[in-house]
Amino acid sequence: MSSDTTLAKAPAAPDDPPVHADELTVVPQRRLGQWAAAAAVLVLLGLAVTSVLRNRAFQWGVVADYFTTDSVLRGLWLTLWLTVVVMVLGFALGTLLAAARLSANPVLRAVSWGYVWLFRSIPILVQLLLWFNIGALYPHLFGVRTVDLFTPIAVAIIGLTLHEAAYAAEVVRGGILSVDRGQIEAAQALGLSRWRRWWRIVLPQAMRAIVPPAGNMLIGTLKGTSIVSVIAVQDLLFSVQLVYHRTYQVIPLLMVATVWYTVVTSVLSVGQYYVEKRYARGTGAAR
C-alpha cells in the first residue's frame, strides 16, 4: 500500500434521539444541614411548649377562670376603643403633617419636620407623664382647672395621638413619594382636577406602600396602649393588675393579658393580609 494512501474514515454514528423533559428523572438536592436544623428547632419548640403546659406555676385553671371576667373584658374593650381612636386621630393629623412636609411652603415644611423630629425623639412614657403633670405648668386653661380637663383617659388619647401622628406622617409621606411622578403628569395631561388626581390616581397607588407599615403601627399601638396603665387608665393590663394585687396570682393574670393581646393581634394580622392583598391587585405582590 502506498504511503500517501489515506485511510478511509469510519462512518459517523447517528446522533442520539432527543430526550424529552418528561423522561428525565429529577433528583432533588439534598439539604441535610437544613433538615437537621429544622429537626433541632422542632425539638426545642416541643420542649418549650411542654414546659409551659406542664409547669404548674402558670396555673392554667386560674387563667381560664379570669379570662372572660367582667373586669378583664371591660379592660379589653377600653384597649380596643383607645387603639381605634388613637389610630384614626393619629393618621388624620399625620396626613396633614405629610401634606405640609410635601408642600412648596418652606415654613410648613419646617414646622412639619420639627414636629416629627420632636415627637419621635421623646419616649412615649415621658410624653404621657408630661401631659399627666401639665397642671404643674398651667394650673388653669380656658378658665377651667387643668386637672379637670386632663383626665387620665384624655391624657392617654392626647399623648398617644401626638406620638403616633409623627410616625403616621412619615408613613403617608413615603407612600405618596412611592407613586411614579409620571402618573401625576399623565393625570394632569388628561385635565383631571387636583382632588381627582389625588383621590383616583395617587391615593390608590400610595396605599400599596402605606398599608403594610400602617398595619404594623396598628398592632404596635394596640400593644403600646398597655403603657397607659402607669397613669391609672383601666385598660387590659391595668385590669389584670388590679386583680393580682388583690389575689397575688401574678403569673396567671399576666397570662390572661398575654393571651388576649395575642388573640387580638392575630386577628389584626389576618385583616392586614387581606387589605394588602386588595391594594396589591394587578401587581406581582398580589400573588
Whether the full predicted model's pTM is greater than 0.95, yes or no, is no
Per the structure block, which three cell numbers stand in for 166? 409623627
What type of residue is 153?
I
For residue range 96-120, what is the model confidence (pLDDT) as tens digits?
A: 999 899 888 999 999 999 999 999 9
pLDDT of residue 118: 95
Averaged over 49-71, what is the pLDDT?
89
Half-sphere exposure of 281 (CA within 13 A, CB side): 5
Averaged over 170-182, what is the pLDDT?
86
For residue range 154-173, what is the model confidence (pLDDT) as tens digits?
A: 999 999 999 999 999 999 99
d(CA 254, CA 65): 13
**Other Cβ atoms within 10 Å of 9 Cβ, number:** 6
Residue 5 has pLDDT above 90, yes or no: no
**Least reliable range by pLDDT among 173-177, 195-199, 204-208, 230-234:** 195-199
Averaged over 128-134, what is the pLDDT?
92
**Least reliable range by pLDDT among 51-60, 75-84, 242-251:** 51-60
Q: Which residues contact 87 (CB under 8 A, 6 or more apart)?
A: 164, 217, 218, 221
Residue 242 has pLDDT above 90, yes or no: yes
C-alpha distances (whole Å) from 63 to each of 34, 239, 251, 268 are 38, 14, 9, 23
Residue 66 has pLDDT above 80, yes or no: yes
pLDDT of residue 232: 87
pLDDT of residue 220: 92
pLDDT of residue 17: 61
**Other Cβ atoms within 10 Å of 224 Cβ, number:** 17
Residue 21 pLDDT level (bands cut at 50, 70, 90): low
For residue range 203-223, what is the model confidence (pLDDT) as tens digits?
A: 778 888 888 899 999 999 999
Residue 30 has pLDDT above 70, yes or no: yes
pLDDT of residue 1: 46
Radius of gyration (C-alpha) of the chain in whole angstroms: 31
**Least reliable range by pLDDT among 152-156, 166-170, 172-176, 282-286:** 282-286
pLDDT of residue 7: 47
Residue 65 pLDDT level (bands cut at 50, 70, 90): very high
Q: How far is CA 143 from the centre of its chain?
A: 41
Residue 14 pLDDT level (bands cut at 50, 70, 90): low
What is the chain's mean pLDDT, rounded?
86
**Other Cβ atoms within 10 Å of 150 Cβ, number:** 20
Of 249, 220, 185, 274, nearest to 57 (Cα)? Answer: 249
